[in-house]
Amino acid sequence: MLKIEGLTATVDGKPILKGIDLEIPSGEVHAVMGPNGSGKSTLAYVLAGREGYEVTGGSATWDGHDLLSMEPEERAAAGLFLAFQYPVELPGVGNATFLRTALNAIRRARGEPELDAMQFLKLARQRMRELSMPEDMLKRSVNVGFSGGEKKRNEILQLALLRPKLAVLDETDSGLDIDALRIVADGVNAMRGPDFAALVITHYQRLLDYIVPDRVHVLMNGRIVRSGGPELAKELESEGYAAIQARAA
């Protein structure tokens, strides 16, 4: 269970999150929707522990772990995964090396044996086939020269390999055509189960046609202003954020 209570955070001294309360039980997928600048990405980065995002109040716990006091790598080891809105390019770091290093770091943390190069390749190739990714993406530098869709698929490949218990997907749908969107959604849906929770951050309802959430929350101006079932996403799509804002105000 992810439990966020009264979470406030600033970026460059500017308040962005102004008191977030949110609970996601294991086995559920929740969507957070909101207009640009509402604090969606800040929420994702605060949960993952990025520098420069200062928590000024409140708490966030995952299965009893105090997430906010942990290093980013400790959060990952505890089962948290952030799919980046803008996956970072790492020139000179081979994708295979990156994926295997990450997987083995997580496996070490879980007390599982590390995979050697051959075992890793076998597993990676299988996951890549499931995501319709060409195999040469293993040989290239991480995200360098990848199209927008390839970068997002590479994030989902990491999700599929690392098998986190809590995934935060930060606008994973942005820049994807419909085929890529379907592949990405299939990747996420394949993870669903009683031991998996996800926070899907998105601007548009489109992604939620493919990853159907259990709950939808509307984030505006650093606060969750409405929560509801999947139908809330449809309402937003037809009425727009302005109407919600007017009603919430």
Partner 1 sequence: MNVVMHQVGAPGFLHRFEGLRDRLPGGRLPWLATLRAQAAEAFRAQGFPTRRVEAWKYTDLAPVAEAGFDEPLTPMDDAMDLPPAQAGARAVFVDGRFRADLSSLDGLPFEVSSVARHLDALEGRLGALARPGEEPMAALNTMLFEDGLLLDLPEGVEGGVLELLSLATASERPSAFHPRHLIRLAKGAKLTLIETATGPEGARYLHNPVFEVEVAEGAWLTHGRLQQEAPRAFQLSTIYATVAAGGTYDNFTLNAGGRLVRNEIHVTLTGPGAACHMNGAQLLAGDQHADTTTALDHAAPSCASRQTYKTVLMGRSRGVFQGKILVRQVAQKTDGYQMNQALLLSPEAEMDSKPQLEIYADDVKCSHGATVGELDAEQVFYLRSRGIPETQARAMLVQAFLHEAVEGVTDEALRRALDAAVEGWWARQEETLAA
Give contact residues for partner 1 (rule: CB under 8 A): 48-51, 71-73, 75-77, 81-82, 84, 87-88, 90-93, 97-98, 101-102, 105-106, 109, 141, 158, 162
Which of 11, 67, 75 lies closest to 39, judged by CA?
Answer: 11
Pick the closer one to partner 1 by CB: 91 or 242.
Answer: 91
Pairing verdict, β 215-220 and 29-33: parallel
Query: What's the alpha-carbon Rg for the chain, to the nearest Å?
Result: 18
Pick the closer one to partner 1 by CB: 123 or 248.
Answer: 123
Phi-psi region of 127 (alpha: psi -120 to 50; beta: other; left: phi over 0): alpha
Is 194 in a helix, a strand, or coil?
A: coil
Query: From the CB of 128, what's the least distance to partner 1, in Å?
Result: 17
Query: From the CB of 19, what's the least distance to partner 1, in Å?
Result: 25
Query: From the CB of 171, what's the least distance to partner 1, in Å?
Result: 16
Pick the closer one to partner 1 by CB: 156 or 224.
Answer: 156
Pick the closer one to partner 1 by CB: 92 or 113.
Answer: 92
Cβ neighbours of residue 127 closer than 8 Å, sequence gap 6 or more: 157, 160, 161
Pick the closer one to partner 1 by CB: 106 or 133.
Answer: 106
Query: From the CB of 142, what's the least distance to partner 1, in Å?
Result: 8
Query: From the CB of 6, what's the least distance to partner 1, in Å?
Result: 24
The helix/strand count (H/E) of the chain reads as 8, 12
Pick the closer one to partner 1 by CB: 4 or 47.
Answer: 47
| Strands annotated E in the chain | 2-11, 14-24, 29-33, 53-62, 65-66, 80-83, 90-94, 141-142, 166-170, 197-202, 215-220, 223-228
Query: From the CB of 179, what's the least distance to partner 1, in Å?
Result: 26
Quick one: tokens of 4?
Answer: 């966020």
CA distance 249 to 241: 12
